[in-house]
Copies of this chain bind each other. A is one copy, B any other.
Amino acid sequence: MYNLYDFLPSGNGYKVRLLLNALNLPYTLIEKDILKGETRTEEFLELNASGRIPLLQLEDGRCLAESNAILLYLAEGTEFLPADRFLRAKINEWLFFEQYSHEPNIAVVRFWMTHGGPTEEQKAMLPAKMKAGYAALDVMEKQLNQTPFLAGEHMTVADIALYAYTHVAHEGEFDLSGYPSINGWLTRIAARANHVLITDT
């Protein structure tokens, strides 16, 4: 059985829980409160030098970090990660897009908004973050206007990764009303996924 070191309000952790549930893979949840520095202890840093959750521990004790690397590992051989070389490349493209263009804007702004509001320093960065967040949503909308899921006709780990923070983007005060294709996609994923509890919404 897997051990999953996780912090329940984390969307990055949520992705992994969503896929574990969709695949009916049992796991032991080991909660680490990042706000209390529980991932910066010497013991945890031995497991993951980056000091971050989610962290997946295999039965043999080996550990995997980085939410999207964990998704790719767990999805291998399943419907969520098809074998076709180009399709896998497109899925990877979305996963890197998620970590570079989506999460640092949409997830970070949401974190600020749901943890006492942005500080003065964060307020100065807010317009740029909001603009970049909407730019990421624009890219998704354009694709979802053409195909029902991000990488084409079927739901893959690309959808799971981008669903995690998109479906709570409103908590970061992102207005999704101008994104009909994204809204349709959110509904399709919610209907399709074997949902886990979203502890923070």
Contacts and interface: CB of A to CB of B under 8 A. Distances in A.
A192 B10 CA distance: 40
Contact of A85 (B50, B65, B68, B76): B76
Interface residues of A, number: 36
Contact of A96 (B62, B99, B139, B143): B99
A93 B121 contact: no
A101 interface: yes
Given A86-B62, A139-B50, A72 B99 contact: no
A130 to B, nearest CB: 15
Given A73-B89, A143-B49, A97 B62 contact: no
Interface of A: 49-50, 58, 62, 64-70, 72-73, 76, 85-86, 88-90, 92-93, 95-97, 99-101, 103-104, 121, 124-125, 138-139, 142-143
